[in-house]
Chain A
Amino acid sequence: MRKLSTHRRHPLAGLLLLAVGLLLTGGLYSAVAPEPAKAEASSVSQIEAGRQLFLVGCASCHGLNAEGITTVGKDGKAGNYGPSLIGVGAAAVGFQMETGRMPMAQTAPQALRKDVEYTQEEIDQIATYVASLAPGPARPSAEDVDWTKVGKKGISEGGEFFRTNCTACHNSVGAGGALPSGRFAPSLKGVAPAHIYEAMVTGPQQMPVFSDELMTPEEKLNVIAYIKTVQQQGNDGGIGGGGLGPVVDGLFVWFIGIGVLTGFAVWIGMHGTRTKKR
């Protein structure tokens, strides 16, 4: 029987010892280490946490106290790196950050939807902080945006509101539309009901505000129900061409219609195989 000492000289002995040491240290530490601080339910610490996050990720454009950083262009026109957030409410923060628009990656005519940078908890904290600065629109509750509860009459009415207030920028099926100077009203495809609500009530960037006093939460929910119903029903007639209307139809007519039929014409006019046999 080999003594322990002979194993000590195994080539892998050092490695094994190292692994054992690491495991022991780690295990001991996790056993005796103190509990990490849990996030407290108290809103005061939410606001403070939010403020900390704000200072790191948002203040460089929106100012240390969210008062905005204004600029004056060469033409004397006033502008800003980031507007004041005092009074925009939690709804604005929820919309901008949960759709990834904020933080903006680079200056552009408008903030674009992109991957979300923060966790939900962090966004909630920043929202609480911004809401604490001054009264502003609150985030809608789950009931406020539960569009599946809206009945047929509500959907029809929502359609009327949609066609009166929204299609001019976003187009009849929510495919989006162009605005001056490189800006655009984005497509409504894949937008969560809560975000549609928040966009209406806060008016992000160039979008106007539709306050709850003039368009009640119920009317807003009807609009959301209409949008979602129409999006879910699919295109009855076939390929939808992106919902962009006659322009796309014209492209289809020329490239597919005339193209394929001309192809048939070429085939008809071609003479086929010839043979030398008599």
Chain B
Amino acid sequence: MSKSTFTKIEESPTGKALSGPVGWLDDRLGLAGAGKKNLRKVFPEHWSFMLGEIALWSFVVILLTGVFLTLWFVPSMAEVEYKGSYLPLRGIEMSQAYSSTLKISFDIRGGLLIRQIHHWAAALFVAAMMAHMLRVFFTGAYRKPREINWLIGVGLLSIGMVAGFTGYSLPDDLLSGTGLRFVDGMVRSVPLVGSYVEFFIFGGEFPGDIIIPRLYIAHVLLIPAILLGLIGAHMLLLVYHKHTQWPGAGRTNDNVVGYPMLPVYMAKAGGFFFIVFGFIAVMGALIQINPVWAYGPYNPSEVTAGSQPDWYMGFSEGLVRLMPPLETTWFGRTWTWSVFIPGVGGLGLVFTSLALWPFIERWITGDDREHHLLERPRNAATRTALGVAAMTAYGVGWLAGGNDIIALKFHLDIFAITWILRVGFFLFPVIAFIITKRICVSLQRKDNETLTHGWETGVIDRAPSGGYSERHAALPVADQYELTSSRERLPDTDEEIHTHDAYGVRNPKFRKHRLRQKLRAWYYSGSVDKPTVEQMEHAADHLSDVDHPVELGEDFQGVSETGVPRVH
């Protein structure tokens, strides 16, 4: 039992002390209006809503550690002889960028730690954005009114990847320099204007003397500014639309159920910031990342086996490795398809599909309503299957990017791996689609079965005639509601479409409408509707008409996903 300890803030000693300054500010800024709307704003609770927070807090860690690094890093390609404390490189000619990175790693106390935290946080930033994006995709949270936020998110992911790439290229070491060489070759493959783009980016022939300073200013000023702006817009829309929520007791499409910003969400989000920062710091203490001293300074005549970019570029790298040779000469110009198609086309295709998806889905389904309740992935079988197929294709690209490491560690033939993945890039996603769709549909059926037949209690009856049967009990109403809300599809509102109207005039939209109808039918094929009102009433009668109902006990709190009764 809790005593009543509610104190008005303006009557507490702190409140009285602060009333002067706060009043002074409010007299000039009128903050109470904003405060009124947002201080007790409600946020729903679920672990999957915190993936975006991992990205947000990693970004803060990146900013903090990045400022530290700029205090010592010299973004210059001028040649200098190394005189620092890492002995195996003493006396070697290298760029100032590389030399200052070595200084940070070996001669500045805590420098190596901050470098490693910065790099781990960057890798985690992109990974968390991807995990968050997948969550939003599979739960349908990008639907109206959140399409713009989805586009902002796609922008954040793509620019975040650019931020990472520019960042790890700054030390001008052999590994990242080899990556820049790859970019040089890729830029050359842009049709018709490739050489111009190359010479303009590098200020002349590769490597030139200006690319590192240019990457530097992009990395510390231009890109963070864009990212901060996009993050601000992303958060603003989140606050305006309020967060989506999972279906459940008390939750509808028109409300938000959860905890208030002040104090619970501030505490949970703030606490999670410290956890993210702390865990990344522990990773920086225990796991080495990007040991640039081992690679040596960049030299266009040197290379290391196992040259890979950071993980988020692995998809692009893999496609470039898989692509068979293809180059044509048209109109007196050379068109290097083997580099352009996977290099520029690969990621271009990924981001374009991501950006267009909400609009494509909207066009197919014709669903124009606002959605604030999330959909379980199983209830949108085709969407989920398409998502898994896309992840599979992405995964094939990833594996291909590391094909030499796989060949080395598992003693396999690298050419065989390449061939399998060449075919697999097209074949595996199809297989994944089919399997995922079947799984989703069968899960939908299982849900329906649990709703209409109750859950299996594990209590076995033995009939006088000798047969055994298991007693079922009805799900608690809250669970029934959870399984049936946010699970519907719009009727097909398209009237019958005709090739010609009553006067024999050709319908110019016929083809488009027919395509849409077919896609819509495919999109919903296989999915089963939830039980009707009559079926649920029938089920309730049937389940309560039992001589010896199962005793569920006082502590019964519902049934888990796998059919195990819960007590909390």
How many residues from B make CB contacts under 8 Å with A? 77
**Is the Cβ of A163 less than 8 Å from the Cβ of B91?**
no
Contacts of B568 in A (CB 8 A): 271, 273-274
Q: Are A253 and B51 in contact (CB under 8 A)?
A: no
**Contact between A238 and B414 (Cβ–Cβ < 8 Å)?**
no
Interface of B is mostly: helix
Contact (Cβ within 8 A) A155 B87: yes
Q: Which residue of chain B is the closest to A256 with respect to CB atoms?
A: B283
Residue of A nearest to B286 (CB): A238
Q: How far is the CA of A155 from the CA of B82 in the complex (A)?
A: 14
Known: A168-B305, A257-B283. A262 touches B310 (CB 8 A): no
Do the beta carbons of B291 and A235 come within 8 Å of each other?
yes
Give the docked Cα–Cα distance between A152 and B51 (Å): 49
B contact residues around A175 at 8 Å (CB): 306
**In the complex, what distance in Å separates the CA atom of A176 from the CA atom of B409?**
9
B304–A156 contact, CB under 8 A?
no
Nearest chain-A residue to B296 (Cβ)?
A163
Across the interface, which residues of B come within 8 angstroms of A257, CB to CB?
120, 123-124, 127, 279-280, 283
Contacting residue for B88 out of A155, A167, A177, A250, CB 8 A: A155
- Judging by beta carbons under 8 Å apart, are A264 and B272 in contact? yes
Within 8 A of B (CB), among A152-167: 152-153, 155-156, 159-160, 163-164, 167
The answer to whether A254 and B127 touch across the interface, beta carbons within 8 angstroms, is: yes
**A156 contacts which of B90, B288, B294, B306 (Cβ < 8 Å)?**
B90
A269 to B271, CA, bound (A): 13
Do B288 and A235 have beta carbons less than 8 Å apart?
yes
Residue B302, interface by CB 8 Å = yes
Q: Are A258 and B91 in contact (CB under 8 A)?
A: no
A240 touches B288 (CB 8 A): yes
Docked pose: A270 CA to B50 CA in angstroms: 12
For B27-52 the 0/1 string (1 means CB < 8 A from A) is 00000000000000000011111110
Give the number of A-B contacts (CB < 8 Å).
Answer: 208
**Residues on the B chain within 8 Å of A260, using CB:** 279
One of A160, A164, A261, A266 near B276 (C-beta < 8 A): A261
Which chain A residues numbered 224 to 275 have a C-beta less than 8 Å away from chain B?
226, 229-230, 235-241, 243-250, 252-254, 256-258, 260-262, 264-266, 268-271, 273-274
A249 to B168, CA, bound (A): 13
Give Cα A246 to B123, complex, Å: 10
- Also in contact, A185 and B288, with CB within 8 A (given A261-B275, A262-B47): no
Knowing A164-B301, A226-B88, say if A171 contacts B123 (CB, 8 Å). no
Say yes or no: A171-B306 contact (C-beta < 8 A), given A245-B175, A265-B47. yes
Residue A181, interface by CB 8 Å: yes
Question: Which residues of chain B (47-64) have a CB below 8 Å from chain A?
Answer: 47-51, 53-54
Per CB-CB distance, the 4 closest pairs between chain A and chain B, nearest first, are: A177-B305, A250-B311, A237-B288, A265-B50
5 A-B contact pairs sorted by A residue (CB < 8 Å)? A169-B305, A253-B123, A266-B47, A268-B50, A278-B1
Question: What is B's interface to A at a CB cutoff of 8 Å?
Answer: 1, 45-51, 53-54, 87-92, 105-106, 112, 116, 120, 123-124, 127-128, 131, 174-175, 268, 271-272, 275-276, 279-280, 283-291, 293-296, 299, 301-312, 314, 401-405, 407-409, 411-415, 554, 568
